[in-house]
Each structure stands twice: as C-alpha cells, then as structure tokens.
Chains A and B, each alone.
Chain A
C-alpha cells in the first residue's frame, strides 16, 4: 500500500540553525500538508499546499517557515532560524483531492529537537 515517507526520523539542531524536513507524498496525490505536535499537546495544522502554492497557513507558519516542492516528488518544510519552541514532531500528509471529507494520509513524522 502506498505510504507517505519522511526523512529524517530524528533531527537535533542548535538554536538559530536552518533545518529542512523532507517528505515524499503518495505519488498520485495533489494536496500536501504539514502539521506539528509539540510533546504532550495536540496536533496542529501548519500549512497546506496545492499546485505549487500555499493554499492556507496557520498563525504558527510565520516568515521563518517555508515549503517547497522542488522536484515533483519531494515536499519540504524549511525552518530558517530554529527556536527552542520549534521542538516538536512534524508530520507531513497528503491527499488525492482537497475536499473536506477526503482522507489525509500521514507520514511517520520527524522529531525535531532544538537545543
């Protein structure tokens, strides 16, 4: 069964450093998402992406964050200058369409630790 993959599974970085989290969505899916889950808290939406554009972003997704689909298979989340509070599990998801009832398929997550 097709699945969403994410790399790396764990990343440790120093505050102020740039990180890039990578995702390979399911191949025929057109909509892509990033979510994050701070330890012990709820899963929060960051951004949705379709047709090489951001469709929607949350208040969390400020100028330090960016997303890109560089080569038609990968979907990346970049944090330019990491802060301690960026430490979280980051989930990528994809869906075939963006319809409200459409299932979003989640990757296993990247655990980011900012020191």
Chain B
C-alpha cells in the first residue's frame, strides 16, 4: 500500500497570503494525484486531479505541481472561504487508493 504523508499538519496564514501544502508518496504515483478540500460538516470537494488540473469551478488561485513522489498544492492568495482541511490522494494504477492525513489551513 502506498503511504501518503502531508505536511505541515496545520498551516496558519493571513488572508491574502499564499499557502503551500506538501504531500509525499512512499513510492511513485506518476501523475495520479488529487487534492480535496473539506470544510467542517461537509463532504470533501475535489480541487485538483492529475497533479495540476483544476476541477470544475475551482478558482485559479489553486494550483498543483510535482511528480513521482513529491507534490504541492499552492493557494496563491488565501481567501476566507479557503480555510479548511486539505487532503491529497493517490489513485495510481489500481486500488487501494490512499489519502494523506490532511493539512488544516487556519487563520493566523
């Protein structure tokens, strides 16, 4: 099973600042990497798939990068609605799919 490790666990940012979230895979997942946003009491929302493709309706301030085992989600100018928990997930080849443990983006 591929392990996904996210860092940091919590990221404190002020509105308008940029935020950089990291995700590391225990082995290569090629470009089969997605990012999700989850707000309290809500289901997850797909933000990024294929490392860098924005899902439908996702603002351009969200961008993804990386390859192989190291991936990054960047929020270029954090807005109030962006404070949430973010999860990375690999979907390489065949299940089991695995998620990282999440990074909480909170108000500084």
Q: Do A and B bind each other?
A: no
Chain A interfacial positions (CB closer than 8 Å to B): none
